[in-house]
């Protein structure tokens, strides 16, 4: 267990100066600030809406784009960046020649990518709530404070985070197998588009396509009663977690047999 | 308890159908500097990767300090430090951060990073991004990373690549110090015999995946038998005279003949016989094949 934690600590130490780490933090910040500025400068049309709708207007573009594109792309990018760090410096060989179990090295990298995604989702949730209240400071007419959206926001982002586990596991496996930018990125994008289309046309087998899970999750959130009555676990989330576990185990056995060149 | 730091028994490795390591039986004695020699593409790096378990090896073929590698991977690697091919470094981190990261992974005190920087002469460049280091500096950092855990066994794959003459001498002295003062064992690969000759106590010569020679540096020297080189005006006549007097002709070229060296007295006799038979002897002396030629001879055999 100690090996796992020191590997995880090293992942943080190595990546803290990379774009992958900072994009996990700056992306939610940038998007929330941009939307908040829109609310502050174009507030006239929003005055007539009750606070619940104001929150919905703030949240829906983020959640909408997140499910169809942003979350899969973010996950594809983070996974690529974290593994590419090792390819770029030709450091896989030094990592695997250290007295550390292969499982620790493999699991710490996988969990670190999951952590980065979790961090982004958490920051989105926190920053959306903070932005709503900040808007009210500049435009007191927009009474964000009269409705508490915490539960729906945290539930939404928890659900979206869980929906990304399947994609993370597949992308992680692809980047371990191919020292290449195009294959994991290209295939990831293709699967995202296919998944998004399959989810949106309501194809019944979309629930088995990992790259469709975020789209299915967002559709589940948006179509829920009053926009708030949805459970965290549904078929897509369950499949995402099953996919994550199965591909993680499969990847480990592939790694055990793999020659580090 | 094995007296070898590294022992391989009939080790084979294939890239697809191509055998890149063939029936290799290395024996690296503890406390030695083992020069692992071979031309480019001979299988040196592949062998080192097999010793580090980066490439899969069959069970019971690789032993590190007497322990079978596949079943004792962590215990074996704990005793090893390595530099394989070009140094593996994170370009976006500074030299010091690269060493600190290694300290984190090995669970050792981070102050070791500063010590290593001083040892490999990178103190002044400690806070410079490693990606901006020269090739020689990267090589030094790679050596620092290999040494940081104070391992019993060091595997250095062409460690002087990219180093200037001063750097080469420093690495040479460091290797000598590590073995003589600290009892470490070093396997150092190179394609240059001259580089190994000055430090190695033992030598293994590999070509096309096969080990062609293994022994002490003195045993390698002994392979190089001296000959007598005679420069004459008429080599055909000289050849007949020397042959009829029992000399073993090694080779003859226009104006020079090489015969086997059998002693000083014989050399004097051959000289006087030639002169008495009217052959003009311009020069006569012993000639010993240098190790570089010997190396070429050995590696050209397979």
A231 at interface of B, judged by CB pairs closer than 8 A: no
| Neighbour-count burial of B257, counting CB atoms closer than 10 A to its CB (0-12 exposed, 13-18 middle, 19+ buried) | buried
Res. B299: pLDDT tops 80: no
B52 at interface of A, judged by CB pairs closer than 8 A: yes
Least confident of B7-11, B64-68, B279-283, B296-300: B296-300
Q: Which residue has the tokens 């710490």?
A: A108
pLDDT (average), residues A37-47: 84
Name the average pLDDT for chain B.
88
Res. A227: pLDDT tops 70: no
Distances (CA, A) of B263 to A136, A176, B247, B250, B259: 105, 65, 12, 16, 12
Q: Would the CB atoms of A10 and B86 count as touching at under 8 Å?
A: no
In B99-184, beta strands by DSSP E: 153-157
B80 at interface of A, judged by CB pairs closer than 8 A: yes
Greater model confidence, A117 or B224: A117
Name the average pLDDT for chain A.
88
Predicted local confidence at residue A225, as pLDDT: 63
Res. A178: pLDDT tops 90: no
Instruction: Give the CA count within 13 Å in the CB-facing half-sphere of B240.
Output: 6
Most confident among A6-20, A58-72, A140-154, B281-295 (mean pLDDT):
A6-20
Taking only the tens place, the pLDDT of each residue in B67-101 is 999 999 999 999 999 999 888 899 999 999 999 99
Paired sense of beta strands B249-253 and B256-260, if any: antiparallel
Find chain B residues with C-beta within 8 A of A93's C-beta.
49, 52, 54, 84-85, 88
Find chain A residues with C-beta within 8 A of B106's C-beta.
98-99
Predicted local confidence at residue A226, as pLDDT: 58
Predicted local confidence at residue B167, as pLDDT: 81
Predicted local confidence at residue A228, as pLDDT: 62
Predicted local confidence at residue B121, as pLDDT: 85
The answer to whether residues B139 and B156 touch, using CB atoms and an 8 Å cutoff, is: no
Taking only the tens place, the pLDDT of each residue in A75-118 is 999 999 899 888 888 888 999 999 999 999 999 999 999 999 99
Res. B188: pLDDT tops 90: yes
Res. A68: pLDDT tops 80: no
The answer to whether residues B120 and B143 touch, using CB atoms and an 8 Å cutoff, is: yes
pLDDT (average), residues B249-256: 83
Task: Count CB atoms within 10 A of the CB of residue A232.
Answer: 12
Residue of A5, A22, A97 to mutate when probing chain B, most B C-beta within 10 A = A97
Say what the pTM is.
0.84
Q: Would the CB atoms of A13 and B77 count as touching at under 8 Å?
A: no
Helix (H, G, I), strand (E, B), or coil: what is residue B49? helix
pLDDT (average), residues A112-138: 92
Q: Is the ipTM of this complex over 0.95?
A: no
Predicted local confidence at residue B301, as pLDDT: 66
Res. B127: pLDDT tops 70: yes
B186 band by pLDDT with thresholds 50, 70 and 90: very high
Q: Would the CB atoms of A98 and B54 count as touching at under 8 Å?
A: no
Task: Count CB atoms within 10 A of the CB of residue B80.
Answer: 25
Predicted local confidence at residue A138, as pLDDT: 87
Distances (CA, A) of B164 to B133, B159, B161: 14, 12, 9
Res. B293: pLDDT tops 90: no
Q: Would the CB atoms of A260 and B91 count as touching at under 8 Å?
A: no
Q: Would the CB atoms of A93 and B101 count as touching at under 8 Å?
A: no
Q: Which of residues 168-197 of B touch A (CB under 8 A)?
A: none
Res. B217: pLDDT tops 90: no
pLDDT (average), residues A141-168: 89
Find chain A residues with C-beta within 8 A of B75's C-beta.
99
Predicted local confidence at residue B302, as pLDDT: 63
Predicted local confidence at residue B173, as pLDDT: 85
Res. B42: pLDDT tops 80: yes
Distance CA B100, CA B96 (A): 6
In chain B, beta strands by DSSP E: 4-8, 11-15, 18-24, 27-29, 33-37, 62-64, 67-68, 80-83, 153-157, 185-190, 202-207, 210-216, 227-232, 249-253, 256-260, 281-287
B90 at interface of A, judged by CB pairs closer than 8 A: yes
The answer to whether residues B73 and B82 touch, using CB atoms and an 8 Å cutoff, is: no
Helix A71-88 / helix A165-177 crossing angle, nearest 10 deg? 30
B273 at interface of A, judged by CB pairs closer than 8 A: no
Predicted local confidence at residue B227, as pLDDT: 84
B258 band by pLDDT with thresholds 50, 70 and 90: confident
A101 at interface of B, judged by CB pairs closer than 8 A: yes
Q: Smallest CA–CA separation between A213 and chain B, in Å? A: 34
Beta bridge partners of B256: B231, B253
Distance CA A11, CA A14 (A): 5
Q: Would the CB atoms of B55 and A260 count as touching at under 8 Å?
A: yes
Residue of B nearest to A11 (CA): B101
Predicted local confidence at residue B281, as pLDDT: 92
């Amino acid at each position: 267990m100690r090996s796992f934690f020191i590997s995880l600590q090293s992942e943080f130490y190595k990546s803290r100066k990379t774009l992958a780490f900072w994009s996990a933090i700056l992306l939610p910040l940038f998007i929330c600030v941009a939307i908040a500025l829109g609310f502050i400068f174009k507030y006239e049309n929003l005055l007539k809406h009750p606070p619940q709708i104001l929150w919905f207007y703030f949240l829906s573009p983020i959640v909408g784009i997140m499910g169809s594109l942003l979350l899969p792309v973010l996950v594809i990018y983070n996974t690529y960046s974290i593994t590419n760090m090792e390819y770029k410096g030709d450091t896989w060989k030094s990592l695997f020649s250290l007295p550390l179990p292969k499982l620790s090295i493999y699991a710490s990298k996988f969990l670190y990518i999951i952590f980065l995604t979790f961090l982004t989702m958490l920051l989105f949730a926190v920053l959306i709530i903070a932005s709503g209240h900040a808007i009210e400071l500049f435009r007191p007419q927009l009474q964000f404070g009269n409705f508490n959206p915490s539960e729906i926001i945290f539930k939404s982002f928890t659900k979206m985070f869980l929906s990304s586990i399947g994609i993370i596991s597949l992308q992680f496996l692809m980047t371990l197998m191919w020292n290449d930018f195009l294959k994991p990125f290209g295939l990831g994008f293709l699967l995202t588009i296919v998944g998004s289309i399959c989810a949106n046309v309501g194809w019944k087998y979309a629930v088995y396509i990992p790259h469709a899970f975020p789209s299915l999750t967002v559709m589940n959130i948006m179509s829920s009663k009053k926009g708030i009555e949805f459970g965290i676990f549904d078929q897509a989330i369950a499949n995402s977690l099953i996919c994550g576990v199965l591909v993680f185990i499969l990847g480990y056995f592939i790694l055990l047999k793999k020659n580090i060149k | 308890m094995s007296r070898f730091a590294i022992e391989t028994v009939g080790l084979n490795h294939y890239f697809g159908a191509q055998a890149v390591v063939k029936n290799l039986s290395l024996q690296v004695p503890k406390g030695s500097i083992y020069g692992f020699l071979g031309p480019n593409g001979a299988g040196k790096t592949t062998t080192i990767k097999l010793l580090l378990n980066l490439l899969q090896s069959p069970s019971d073929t690789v032993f590190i300090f007497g322990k079978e590698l596949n079943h004792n991977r962590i215990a074996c690697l704990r005793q090893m430090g390595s530099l394989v091919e070009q140094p593996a470094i994170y370009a976006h981190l500074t030299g010091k951060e690269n060493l600190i990261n290694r300290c984190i992974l090995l669970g050792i005190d981070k102050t070791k990073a500063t010590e290593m920087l001083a040892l490999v002469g990178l103190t002044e460049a400690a806070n410079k991004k490693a990606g901006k280091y020269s090739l020689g500096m990267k090589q030094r950092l790679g050596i620092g990373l290999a040494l940081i855990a104070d391992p019993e066994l060091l595997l250095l794959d062409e460690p002087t690549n990219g180093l200037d003459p001063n750097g080469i001498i420093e690495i040479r002295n460091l290797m000598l110090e590590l073995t003589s003062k600290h009892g470490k064992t070093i396997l150092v690969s190179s394609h240059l015999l001259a580089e190994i000759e000055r430090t190695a106590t033992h030598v293994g010569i590999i070509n096309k995946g096969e080990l062609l020679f293994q022994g002490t540096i003195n045993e390698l020297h002994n392979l190089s038998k001296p000959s007598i080189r005679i420069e004459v005006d008429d080599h055909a006549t000289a050849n007949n005279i020397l042959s009829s007097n029992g000399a073993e002709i090694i080779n003859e070229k226009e104006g020079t003949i090489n015969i086997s060296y059998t002693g000083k007295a014989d050399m004097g006799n051959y000289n006087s016989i030639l002169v008495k038979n009217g052959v003009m002897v311009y020069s006569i002396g012993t000639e010993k094949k240098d190790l570089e030629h010997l190396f070429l001879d050995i590696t050209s055999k397979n």
